[in-house]
Amino acid sequence: MPINVSALDSLSDHVNDVRLRTAELINNEILPYEGDLFASRRGTAVTDADKKRSKDLRESVKSKVKSAGLWAPHLPAEYGGMGLDFMAHAYMNEILAYAVGAASLFGVVAPNSGNQKILVKYGTEEQKRRWLLPLIEGTMESGFSMTEPDNAGSDPRSIKTSARLEGDEFVINGHKWFTSNGIDADFFIVMCRVDDPSGEAGRSGSMAQIIVPTNTPGVNIVRGIGIWGHATSDHCEVIYDNVRVPAENVLGRVGQGHEAAQERLGAGRVFHCMNCVGQMWRAFDLMVERSLSREVHGGKLKDKQFIQGFIADSYIDLQTARLLTIRAAELIDRGDPQARTEISALKIYVPEAFSRVADRAIQIWGAAGVSNDLPLAQMYLAARTLRIADGPDEVHKILIAKNVLHHYEKGLSWDFAR
């Protein structure tokens, strides 16, 4: 079933145009060929010829995306991207996410896309030439190495990986895990705590993000960690053992590491949640489509009240998640200090709502729901993972309560209509 998108009065002609043209590509070039485009994931690409056919098809879709001017919505125009503003990007994401996995065909592949944005903002001209441009051209891969097995990822101040300044080099020692894309990456952006006896690089103990080529001696990729019952994955455990890189590999200033990581996550949470909304939209359409056609126990699913309940509850979940996300995006866009509270609220609410909708869609589809023939199982796992990644629910709840209480302690009450 194609995504049903129309122009919205509240959006500019430009954003409407981007959304409609994205939907056209999704409906005409991606959804009808999903099985072939993502054959490896579905287990239907067995021979090398199958894999090549699938890759060629993906390349042909990418060319169409580029010709349509819809390539790399996250990047400025000078780096070959669409140069979209924040709201336009958020509104495009819900359409793009409808076809699960299609973002890669539009040049958006995590964690490369997040690293590209960090390099655009904090990279020197030389860093951009060496790392950003190949990343954009697709001749290099990257990872973001922040979380450590022995310290709480939900509290980035607990990071212990050290970068000791010795002459014109940093010597990095530490233990990370869940560094995604670690198997293929040519470089990692590693979050470190600087140990600088001279204080010249900045205050000792300050956080810094340092570019580390993965072929540097001492970078030991221990394993791809098995997740969700699979034996392995590209989320890697990495030990940095006296890894020496030039001091010029630091991104921005020493001390900016925490700020840069928060920035990566802050607006990123809105994009992630718009992605969730797009996927919920797809799950919802699949749920309704199946309930209209499947005969069970002498009648169509659509006529069973259990199923009508699933549809109604999912409708409410989707609309609520979408409106909450758009409201947070609008607050961020106008620089409202209340945005932080709203971002935390949506980061808790949307993945949970997404989980519920994917869960009901799976239930309606029965065994097919958990198969790789449909994107529902993948959605379900992604929704569950999102409740941990980008800040676990509990951390966001604490932040909401603190912000609200602080407001009331100042003698004010909360303005929900703002």
Ligand X SMILES: Cc1cc2nc3c(=O)[nH]c(=O)nc-3n(C[C@H](O)[C@H](O)[C@H](O)COP(=O)(O)OP(=O)(O)OC[C@H]3O[C@@H](n4cnc5c(N)ncnc54)[C@H](O)[C@@H]3O)c2cc1C
List contacts with ligand X (CB under 6 A).
Answer: 111, 144-147, 152-154, 178-180, 235, 385, 388-389, 392, 394-395, 398
Question: Residue 316 to residues 92, 141, 180, 215, 329: CA-CA distances in angstroms?
Answer: 22, 39, 33, 50, 20
Question: Running DSSP on this structure, what letter comes out for residue 225?
Answer: P
In terms of DSSP bridges, do strands 250-251 and 236-246 run parallel, antiparallel, or are they unpaired?
unpaired
Token pair, residue 53, equals 């056919």
> Considering the complex, what minimum distance in angstroms separates the CB of residue 415 from ligand X?
27
Residue closer to ligand X by CB (options 68, 109) is 109
> Considering the complex, what minimum distance in angstroms separates the CB of residue 156 from ligand X?
8
**Backbone CA torsion sign across 278, 284, 287, 288:** negative
**CA atoms of 274 and 246, how far apart (whole Å):** 39
Residue closer to ligand X by CB (options 331, 382) is 382
> Considering the complex, what minimum distance in angstroms separates the CB of residue 221 from ligand X?
13
Residue closer to ligand X by CB (options 188, 281) is 188
> Considering the complex, what minimum distance in angstroms separates the CB of residue 245 from ligand X?
18
Contact at 8 Å (CB) between 235 and 224? yes
Other Cβ atoms closer than 10 A to 415: 8
Phi, psi of 171, deg, nearest 5: -110, 115
> Considering the complex, what minimum distance in angstroms separates the CB of residue 161 from ligand X?
11
> Considering the complex, what minimum distance in angstroms separates the CB of residue 143 from ligand X?
6
Residue closer to ligand X by CB (options 73, 111) is 111
Phi, psi of 32, deg, nearest 5: -70, -20
- Contacts of 11-19 with CB under 8 Å at 24 or more apart are 11/91, 12/88, 14/88, 15/87, 15/88, 15/91, 15/92, 18/70, 18/82, 18/84, 18/88, 18/91, 18/92, 19/91, 19/92, 19/95
Residue closer to ligand X by CB (options 21, 397) is 397
Residue closer to ligand X by CB (options 152, 312) is 152
Phi, psi of 342, deg, nearest 5: -65, -35
Q: Which amino acid is at 10?
A: S
Residue closer to ligand X by CB (options 7, 401) is 401
> Considering the complex, what minimum distance in angstroms separates the CB of residue 116 from ligand X?
14
**CA atoms of 124 and 248, how far apart (whole Å):** 9
Spatial CB neighbours of 66, under 8 Å, sequence gap ≥ 6: none
Residue in the shown chain whose Cβ atom is closest to ligand X: 153
Residue with tokens 């485009």: 37
**CA atoms of 275 and 263, how far apart (whole Å):** 18
Quick one: which of 84, 79, 66 has its CA closest to 14? 84
> Considering the complex, what minimum distance in angstroms separates the CB of residue 400 from ligand X?
13
Question: Residue 232 to residues 45, 168, 175: CA-CA distances in angstroms?
Answer: 19, 38, 19
Token pair, residue 104, equals 């890669």
**CA atoms of 288 and 179, how far apart (whole Å):** 38
> Considering the complex, what minimum distance in angstroms separates the CB of residue 150 from ligand X?
9
Residue closer to ligand X by CB (options 121, 402) is 402
Residue closer to ligand X by CB (options 180, 325) is 180
> Considering the complex, what minimum distance in angstroms separates the CB of residue 377 from ligand X?
15
